[in-house]
Amino acid sequence: IDNFIFGDRSDEVADNLPVYNILQGDSRFRGFDARGSTRLAGQTWLTLGLGYVDARLTTGEALPRIPPLRGTVDLDIPYGGFTLTPQLEFAARQADVFRGETETGRYSLVNVRASYVWPRQDTAHILSFTGYNLTNELYRNHSSYIKDLAPEMGRGVRASYAVRFH
């Protein structure tokens, strides 16, 4: 990519926040995102996802905020209108960093979603409950601008209701 634009953290601080210089340079990106599903039994599906990016300036220096190898393993278990989806989410350590950037450690998360669908003539009513980071792992997202100030969310839950119109 010619003239790729990126932030270079300076040593300056303004209003207790770091100051970034916006630079540009020729760069090279390589990587992949893959996702595949297979039926295990009945309507139960296993889905695997994997992604990787290697992004560098043409000088060979790593670009900032590039995520490490990451992936997910999902299991969709339906029963009638109910679906249970446990998920494992992981990321490798990111040690290939831009000058002045901090490394981030590897992490593994356990998430689970349960939903129920009430089909109607012209609509579908969907009630969902999701539990995130159920093991309450302390982790930092390498692509986050504030990774050095705050970790990602700990254990959490979300409830939602949606109506889909046909």
Q: Which pair of structure tokens corresponds to residue 78?
A: 């339906």
Give this prediction's pTM: 0.84
Q: 102-153 pLDDT, tens per residue? A: 999 999 999 999 999 999 999 999 999 999 999 999 999 999 988 988 999 9
- Distance of alpha carbon 157 from alpha carbon 114, whole angstroms: 11
Q: Which residue has the tokens 């630079």?
A: 23
- Distance of alpha carbon 63 from alpha carbon 99, whole angstroms: 9
pLDDT given at position 8? 87
Domain ranges in the chain?
29-165
Considering only CA atoms, which of 40, 65, 41 is closest in space to residue 55? 65
Burial grade of 100 (CB within 10 A; 0-12, 13-18, 19 or more) = exposed
